[in-house]
Amino acid sequence: MKKIIQLIIIAFSVVLFAQNDKIKFDKFLGKKAKVVIVKEYTFSKLYDYKINSQDFDSIAVKPYFINIPEKVLTKKYLTNLQANKKDSILFALNLSYKLSIDIQGKRYIFIKYRVLKENQKEKYQVLIVSRENSIWVEHIPKKVELNLIKSVLLNSSINLLYEFYNTSNNPKYPEINKLKSATKSGNLLDIIKLEKVLRENQSTLKKYLDN
Amino acid sequence: MKHLLTLLLLFISIFVFSQQTENSNIILGYSQQQDLYFYEYQPRLKIKAFLKKQSQAKNEYPEELVQSVLSARTQEWVNYNTLGGETKASQKDDTHFKRVKKMNKDKNYFELHHKLIFKIDGVETAIIKFFLIQENEQPISGAMFMQKINNRWYVTSRSDMSMFVILIMRIKSEVLEGALFGNSKNIEITNLYKKISSENGIDLKAFEKEFFDWYLPENSSKKELFIDPKTW
């Protein structure tokens, strides 16, 4: 009898000990809720080239050779720019504005520009550049996010972006004031919402774009 | 007087020009609808440092990672638990590791209260509220932020989530559940749910904003109702 009791106590201790360090980790599953998560870019800045038009940077008539994002743009049109003569400028790049933004730890520069060729203005384009081994190079976007931002720039002017971003309403822009709340998530300008608003209201907002 | 006026105009132009050459900040981002899973550990789950070797730490589940964090008795093991390894892991000294080996495992453990699981940029993420229970010490509250990469959970951090992690640590479990599901019988919690919910789901940024407001003097009753008094 004494031995049976001892065996029972040992068996009980083994079971108790086993429970102490054996947890079924796969059982803590939880209930599902729907949430909206807002992601804010840690760095995003706009630069207006036109403000400095009295300087040099809004019109490029020759290639740049220093390692700056704009060099990548002039390299794209190197032959055309090199053909310019001092008294005969037939080709120029009109830089409108750029957005510098950090996406998942990497700095991207979006440059909105257009070609001016023989006094004709071509349509606006956006060049994306990023830094690879300290050198600025063109980045061909594959991510949806980059194409979304590109679309925002193509359908806006820097002034339009500021007016959408500002919390106070400017009476000069009644159409923007009406659409503003549809572009925000909290205080930030939501690029997914903004892209949709810009795309769906192109005719209304056309007058605020660069000519 | 004429010279003074000219100088003043020149100064203003220089000032304005230099201001306009600067980049302007603009806060950009985007919102995404997500599924989020809430789990309350009832009864509170005690995670003890029963692992003796790093090889025992599979870290396939968030709670396994918690156990691995508590059990880690070498710097290599601490690095193993941390996203980024050695470069990101906190450096522990020998005194700490000796304490881990010698401590009474039944009297020094993590007590888990609730957990959230969701995705950030497609990466599975969890936040677990816990108390560190130590022999002869007051319990200390904490929240562990972790992400799953290649089927293994790692301790990590994200600056854009730091406020939300503090919210999860400080909030009572029943308030969190009521705010996420609108299933509380308490009218204040139901009002909170109504304030932060929309057709797309619970707005976590709005939830953060409400959390900040509880600390205003006029909201002391909400703070008392919503915040766990045992947390820091």
Residues B29-56 pLDDT 10s: 998 889 999 999 999 999 999 999 999 9
Share of chain B above pLDDT 70, in %: 91
Q: Is the minimum CB–CB distance between A33 and chain B shorter than 8 Å? A: yes
Per-residue pLDDT for B124 more than 80? yes
Average pLDDT over residues B219-223: 91
pLDDT at A19: 39
| Number of helical H runs and strand E runs in chain B | 9, 8
Picking from A17-21, A45-49, A179-183, B141-145, which range would have the lowest pLDDT averaged per residue? A17-21
pLDDT at A13: 47
pLDDT at A1: 73
Q: Is the minimum CB–CB distance between A65 and chain B shorter than 8 Å? A: no
CA atoms of B167 and B143, how far apart (whole Å): 9
Q: In the 8-state DSSP scheme, what is residue B82?
A: B
Residue of B21, B27, B32 with shortest CB distance to A188: B27
Residue of B62, B67, B180 with shortest CB distance to A33: B180
The amino acid at A206 = K
Contact call for residues A112 and A124 (beta carbons, < 8 A): yes
Instruction: Using alpha carbons, list the distances in angstroms from residue A139 to A105, A130, B54, B102, B153.
Output: 15, 6, 42, 55, 32
pLDDT at A51: 66
Per-residue pLDDT for B12 more than 70? no
pTM of the shown model: 0.72
CA atoms of B25 and A131, how far apart (whole Å): 21
DSSP H helices in chain B: 2-20, 62-71, 75-81, 94-102, 162-170, 173-181, 187-196, 204-213, 220-226
Per-residue pLDDT for A56 more than 60? no
Peptide bond into B62 cis (omega under 30): no
Please give the structure tokens belonging to residue A79.
Answer: 């032959």
Question: B206 and A191 in contact by Cβ < 8 A?
Answer: no
CA atoms of B105 and B134, how far apart (whole Å): 10
CA atoms in the 13 A half-sphere facing the CB of A131: 13
Q: pLDDT band for position A54 (50/70/90)? A: low
Per-residue pLDDT for B18 more than 50? no
Smallest Cα distance from A17 to chain B, Å: 11
Question: B202 and A45 in contact by Cβ < 8 A?
Answer: no
